[in-house]
Structures are given as structure tokens and as C-alpha cells.
Amino acid sequence: MGKFNLSNKYKAIVIGGSAGSFQPVTKLLSKIPKSFPLPIFLCLHRLKHVRHGFVEALSIKSNKPVVEPADKESIKRGNVYLAPANYHMGIELGNSVSLTTDDLVNNSRPSIDVMFETAAYAYRDKLIGILLSGANKDGALGMAKIKYHGGTTVIQDPEESMINTMPSAAQNYTKVDYCLVTEEIIKFMLELNSIYKD
């Protein structure tokens, strides 16, 4: 049994972050093997009017393809999905991604809460939510939703986070399962990977 006591019940991983999250995310993507078996959904706060460049920047060090999905695109296990600029990204029942242009949530579009809540509903207890460094509390409510549905929650250790507002807010909203520094989050992901391989 590994350090994190994980199982192979999980179907997806959602990761949210804002200011200060680019570095941990790229590090994570560079360490997750190409064969990692679950889809990963990324919602990172970004400039609304800049459609290009972000997916490319994340792809440079990633072993897995990073894509901005089209609306209602079917989810493939091996992909990393990045919420596009100026759209909310949600998970539909029936294994597809949906994009919407409705109101800003927590002053953000894409909003982490929107992605986490819809994913929590779609994947129930088979979801892992990871919330990284950020300067507002978007994602905190979403983490509570993931817990409510029986999923597993991880925050980047506020001590390590460049800006700790976001992971700390999650701690205030819910009892977070794991509080980890980036290196440990990587180990967490690798342990998960090894369970699916066995």
C-alpha cells in the first residue's frame, strides 16, 4: 500500500489554480507519464481576450497532449483538457465537456467552481480535485462540492503556494483530505498511476 492510500475507483482529476499556479502545473505535467490513465481537467485563471499561447506553453513540458476542447467534445482518458479563454468549462453527464459563456463566477471565466461542481456531480466519489496557488477564493466552494459527493480533495500547501488565498479558502470551506507541496502532489499522482498499472 502506498503512502496516500489510494484506490483505482477514480475516473477523473480536476485541477484549479490562479496566480502562482503556472509553475506547479507545468512541473506536474512534466512528471505525469504519458500513460497516465485518467483524464485531467485544468481550469487556470487566464486573460479573457488572449485565446492563444497558453495551451502551447503548457504543452512544452507535458508528456501528455494538452487540448482546449470544443463544446460537447467527448472525453478521452489520456487527455489533459484546458478550459479555454472566456468560457466556463463544465462536465456533462455522458462523458463530454460543455463550454458556456454565462456570467463571471468569482469574477472569473473560466471559473474553477463551475468546473469542480459540474465534475463533482458527473463523477461523484470517483473524482480527485486539486487546488493550487491563487489570489481569490474561486474553487473553494467547488472543493466542498467534491467532498459532498465523496470525492478526494488535495490542496497545494499554503506555505508553499506563491499566493495562499485560494488553497486556504478551500480549508475554510471543507475538510481537505491532503495538504501537499508540489513534490508530494507529484508523488500522489505517480502512486495513482502505479495502482492503475497493476
Partner 1 sequence: MEEIEIADLRKLTQLIKDKYDYDFTDYAMSSFKRRVKRVIELYKFKSIDSLVDKLRTTPTFFNEFVSEITVNVTEMFRDPTFWKALRDQILPNILLNHNQISIWHAGCSSGEEVFSMAILLKEMDILDRVNIVATDIDDAIIAKAKKGAISIKNMELNGKNYERFEGKYTIEQYFTEQNSTVIVNPELINKVSFRKHDLVNGAVFSKFDLVLCRNVMIYFNQTLQNDVLYKLHESLFRYGYLSIGSKESLIWCDVANKFIVVNNEEKIYKKIKD
Mind telling me the catalytic residues?
A: 18, 45, 138
Backbone angles phi, psi at 172, to 5 degrees: -75, -25
Distance (Å, whole) CA 60 – CA 65: 10
Give the x-and-dash track for 48-67 against partner 1 (CB under 8 A). -x-x----------------
* Look-up of cell digits 490513465: 37
CA 108 to chain centre: 16
Judged by CB under 8 A, the residue of 26, 59, 98, 136 near partner 1 is 98
Tell me, what amino acid is at 39? P
Omega prior to 167 cis, within 30 of 0:
no
Q: Is residue 118 at the binding interface for partner 1, with CB under 8 A as the rule?
A: yes
* Look-up of cell digits 513540458: 61
Judged by CB under 8 A, the residue of 56, 103, 159, 198 near partner 1 is 103
Judged by CB under 8 A, the residue of 68, 138, 160, 177 near partner 1 is 68
Stretch that binds partner 1, among 18-26, 56-64, 89-97, 158-166 (CB under 8 A): 89-97
Distance (Å, whole) CA 103 – CA 198: 44
Closest CA to 85 of 49, 39, 118, 114: 49
Smallest distance, partner 1 to C-beta of residue 61, A: 24
Stretch that binds partner 1, among 13-21, 101-109, 132-140, 185-193 (CB under 8 A): 101-109
Judged by CB under 8 A, the residue of 29, 38, 40, 91 near partner 1 is 91
Closer Cβ to partner 1, 70 or 194, answer by number: 70
Q: Is residue 93 at the binding interface for partner 1, with CB under 8 A as the rule?
A: yes
Give Cα separations from 123 to 26, 27, 116, 127 (angstroms): 25, 26, 10, 6
Helices (H), 111-181: 112-123, 140-148, 165-173
Smallest distance, partner 1 to C-beta of residue 53, A: 14
Stretch that binds partner 1, among 70-78, 166-174, 180-188, 189-197 (CB under 8 A): 70-78
Binding site for partner 1 (CB under 8 A): 49, 51, 68-73, 84, 86-88, 90-93, 96, 98-103, 114, 117-118, 121-122, 148
